[in-house]
A and B are shown apart, each in its own frame.
Chain A
């Protein structure tokens, strides 16, 4: 069985377990929607200031909801020491990392897909830019966040305080993604030209590549910590 088919079997297992219980998705969705409501009450949705910080509000909701999902992604592997069951199987351990990145990314995208229209409606925001631009930004930023988040979630999963430790480890590392995501979202929603945000796009792409390669090299050792 090839590397790819093992990754897909692992993703299928995560999907099967998640869609049976909906533990992770429901918590992430409820959290993201709560953020919409709270920010809606905290700020005047129609004011110019709120419109300026709208992309930031959007990504705060996505990233915090994402942390909840990342925290849960390795919890399931800890019941009955299932992670050990995978570690003794003839599977390259990076397959486990890639499968978790794919499933975490899929769950985050589902949350973003549901929450974004709610955000736009709640804040009465009509994007001036084109949808493909926004979709590209969401995909790149979500990938960067999930790639590093999955790696750190695996590290934190071996500790007693994993729920607290993950955000403390993750947010300082993920700052470039947060800034780039907010800047790019603001630019695409405003319909700005590509040239104006090319630098942030490069930051995001380079970040994504680095945090795809580094965990690939280190994940084997990380699991044995």
Chain B
């Protein structure tokens, strides 16, 4: 579903991504860990079409991202710690608007169903600026999947959520996983990150430092490498440069 070949991104004098090769099959849930400045967010920004790579290729569903980026962007949904929502519009208006941007047929009906799914149907006509952080994040998830994407990119989606809202988000991600959506999630919390993951990737210094399928046997190794890399010599690399 997602193929990266020698992906590089240079920002200023630094190689944020220094040659990433990766293949993610359809329906796999991949959690990406890494210290600050490891290139996690940059990787997701390139996959979402927000940023152009400095080198290498990105393929989504067999097509090269650079060749048909507008069409391929329709395959991807993005959840970030930024919600991408308009404060002055209501929850329903935000979803209908994004539905139109993604060419969703009968966007109002789909928006209403999603509001129900994320538990916000009561607040459908309230402006987003009146929402709590947790409510906004739930709405942001609904926004990200309004067009039923084949790939969901989640960049620290739990940021700012309390425990209850976090559980709701985990439930939603589980449902998307069961529906066969390919999910790439960046997370800093180990237990939260591996809870749903089929595979864990640790980035460090712009390279893949660990790439392991999550099994009961591999979990210990993943944790050890996580402690070593995320808390070790690569930690805070962005502050040092």
Contact of A16 among B85, B89, B136, B143 (CB under 8 A): B89
Contact pattern, A 78-97, Cβ under 8 Å of B = 1, otherwise 0 = 01111011111111100000
Q: Are A90 and B87 in contact (CB under 8 A)?
A: no
B158 within 8 A of A: no
The smallest C-beta distance from A168 to any residue of chain B, in angstroms, reads: 26
Task: Please report the C-alpha to C-alpha distance between residue A20 and residue B127 in the assembled complex, in whole angstroms.
Answer: 10
B78 within 8 A of A: yes
- 3 smallest A-B Cβ distances: which pairs? A85-B84, A81-B82, A90-B74
Task: Please report the C-alpha to C-alpha distance between residue A21 and residue B88 in the assembled complex, in whole angstroms.
Answer: 7
The smallest C-beta distance from B109 to any residue of chain A, in angstroms, reads: 16
Which residues from chain B contact A81 at a C-beta distance below 8 Å?
A: 80, 82-84
Contact pattern, A 13-41, Cβ under 8 Å of B = 1, otherwise 0 = 10011001100000000000000000000
B13 within 8 A of A: no
B27 within 8 A of A: no
Q: Are B103 and A224 in contact (CB under 8 A)?
A: no
B98 within 8 A of A: yes
Q: Are B49 and A13 in contact (CB under 8 A)?
A: no
Contact of A90 among B73, B83, B136 (CB under 8 A): B73
Q: A87-B50, A88-B73, A224-B52 are in contact. Are A6 and B80 (CB under 8 A)?
A: no
Q: Are B49 and A84 in contact (CB under 8 A)?
A: no
A76 within 8 A of B: yes
Q: Are A82 and B86 in contact (CB under 8 A)?
A: yes
What are 19 inter-chain pairs, A to B, with CB distance below 8 A?
A9-B97, A9-B101, A13-B97, A16-B89, A16-B93, A17-B86, A20-B88, A20-B89, A20-B127, A21-B88, A81-B84, A82-B84, A85-B84, A85-B98, A88-B73, A89-B73, A90-B72, A90-B73, A91-B101
Binding site for A on B (CB under 8 A): 48-52, 70-74, 76, 78, 80, 82-89, 93, 97-98, 100-103, 127, 136, 143
A interface majority secondary structure: helix
A5 within 8 A of B: yes
Q: Are B85 and A6 in contact (CB under 8 A)?
A: no
Which residues from chain A contact B74 at a C-beta distance below 8 Å?
A: 90
The smallest C-beta distance from A61 to any residue of chain B, in angstroms, reads: 27
Which residues from chain A contact B51 at a C-beta distance below 8 Å?
A: 224
Q: Are B84 and A80 in contact (CB under 8 A)?
A: yes
- Count of A-B residue pairs with CB < 8 Å: 76
Q: Which residue of chain B has its CB nearest to the CB of A91?
A: B101
Binding site for B on A (CB under 8 A): 1, 5-6, 9-10, 12-13, 16-17, 20-21, 76, 79-82, 84-92, 224
Which residues from chain A contact B80 at a C-beta distance below 8 Å?
A: 81, 84
Task: Please report the C-alpha to C-alpha distance between residue A13 and residue B102 in the assembled complex, in whole angstroms.
Answer: 15
The smallest C-beta distance from A37 to any residue of chain B, in angstroms, reads: 30
Which residues from chain A contact B85 at a C-beta distance below 8 Å?
A: 80, 82, 85
Q: Which residue of chain A has its CB nearest to the CB of B72?
A: A90
Q: Are B143 and A85 in contact (CB under 8 A)?
A: yes
Q: Which residue of chain A has its CB nearest to the CB of B97?
A: A13
Q: Are A89 and B98 in contact (CB under 8 A)?
A: yes
Identify the interface centre among A13, A20, A86, A224: most chain B CB within 10 Å of its CB. A13
Contact of B83 among A76, A80, A91 (CB under 8 A): A80
Q: Which residue of chain A has its CB nearest to the CB of B104?
A: A1
Q: Are B49 and A87 in contact (CB under 8 A)?
A: yes
Task: Please report the C-alpha to C-alpha distance between residue A10 and residue B97 in the assembled complex, in whole angstroms.
Answer: 8
Which residues from chain A contact B87 at a C-beta distance below 8 Å?
A: 79-80
Task: Please report the C-alpha to C-alpha distance between residue A80 and residue B80 in the assembled complex, in whole angstroms.
Answer: 10
Q: A76-B88, A80-B86 are in contact. Are A86 and B101 (CB under 8 A)?
A: yes
Q: Which residue of chain A has its CB nearest to the CB of B47?
A: A88
Which residues from chain A contact B101 at a C-beta distance below 8 Å?
A: 6, 9-10, 86, 89-91
Which residues from chain B contact A224 at a C-beta distance below 8 Å?
A: 51-52
Identify the interface centre among B72, B86, B87, B101: most chain A CB within 10 Å of its CB. B101
Q: Which residue of chain A has its CB nearest to the CB of B70?
A: A90
Q: Which residue of chain A has its CB nearest to the CB of B136?
A: A80
Which residues from chain B contact A13 at a C-beta distance below 8 Å?
A: 86, 89, 93, 97
Task: Please report the C-alpha to C-alpha distance between residue A81 and residue B52 in the assembled complex, in whole angstroms.
Answer: 18
